[in-house]
Structure 1
Amino acid sequence: MLTYFPASEKDYSVLTNIWSRSVLATHNFLKAEDKNEIQKMLPEYFKQVDLLKWQLDESIVGFSGTANQELVMLFLDPKYFRKGYGHQILQKLIDDGINKVSVNEQNVGAFNFYKKNGFKMVSRSDLDGDDRPYPILNLQL
């Protein structure tokens, strides 16, 4: 059974490792220097969201970060990909009021995942939130 708990600073290193493995598996469009810069900023990003760690028994499957009604981040450890955990997490977050998410345009797998779960594109930005040249698709239920 998948459970969740608020994440704290003591979890940051584990969550950063999950982020790194997940990004390696899904974000092949990121330049190495951008990946490294984002990774260094993760502790700051974590502090800006309601951060949850999602667990199967004692193993952390992934984490999510929300702000208001927006899913800001959802990353799974790649060993848990395509096993239904992302869907379970997203459905719980939707039940709790999430109705918006933004996704990198180049991350086709994530875009398709959100579309399959009822999200529709409402706008597009040429740059990401830090003005990097990675287009963002803004989705809403």
Structure 2
Amino acid sequence: MLTPQRATPADYPELIAIWARSVAATHQFLQPADREAIQRALPQYFAQVTLVKWQLGTTTVGFSGTAATDLVMLFLDPAYFRRGYGQTIVQTLIAEDNLQTVTVNAQNPGALAFYRRQGFHLVSRFETDTDGRPYPILNLKR
């Protein structure tokens, strides 16, 4: 059974490693310098959200970051892709935290399709990410 646990700064190295593996598998559009800059900034991003690591026993399969009813980040270790864990996490966040919105990279069509299957639809698009990098962002709502 997948269980949530509030993450702490002591968990950051593990979560950053999961992020790096997940991004390598899904975010080929990122330029290497941008990927490195984002990775260095993750501790600051983590501190701005409610950060939860999702565990299967003692193994962390991924993590989520929310701000109020917005899913800001969801990353799974690629070893756990396509096993229903992402859906379980999103459905849990909907049921327990009233998740209403999600932000996704436009250049990640797999993530967009995933969120659409979870009942989200496009409400807006921005041509750059929040740091001004040239990666279009889609805002979705349930």
> Does residue 87 of structure 1 match 2:91?
no
Q: Any idea what the Cα deviations from partners look like across 1:8-53, whole Å, max 9, x if unmatched?
A: 0000000000000000000000000000000000000000000000
How many Å separate the matches in 2 of 1:13 and 1:35?
16
Question: 2:136 corresponds to which residue?
Answer: 135
Tell me how far 1:56 sits from its aligned partner: 0.2
> Does residue 115 of structure 1 match 2:124?
no
Question: 2:41 corresponds to which residue?
Answer: 41
Relative to the length of structure 2, the TM-score reads: 0.99
How many Å separate the matches in 1 of 2:122 and 2:62?
25
Question: 1:29 corresponds to which residue?
Answer: 29
Relative to the length of structure 1, the TM-score reads: 0.99
Structure 2, gaps ≥5 residues long: none
> Does residue 59 of structure 1 match 2:74?
no
Tell me how far 1:140 sits from its aligned partner: 0.2
Q: Any idea what the Cα deviations from partners look like across 1:70-89, whole Å, max 9, x if unmatched?
A: 00000000000000000000
How many Å separate the matches in 2 of 1:27 and 1:33?
13
- Residue identity matched to 2:34: D
How many Å separate the matches in 2 of 1:135 and 1:42?
19
Identity of aligned residues (%): 57
- Residue identity matched to 2:83: K
- Residue identity matched to 1:9: P
The total of aligned residue pairs comes to: 141
Partner SS, residue 24 of structure 2: helix
Tell me how far 1:125 sits from its aligned partner: 0.3
**Runs in 1 of length 4+ with deviation above 4 angstroms?**
none
How many Å separate the matches in 1 of 2:136 and 2:73?
16
How many Å separate the matches in 2 of 1:24 and 1:94?
27
Partner SS, residue 17 of structure 1: helix
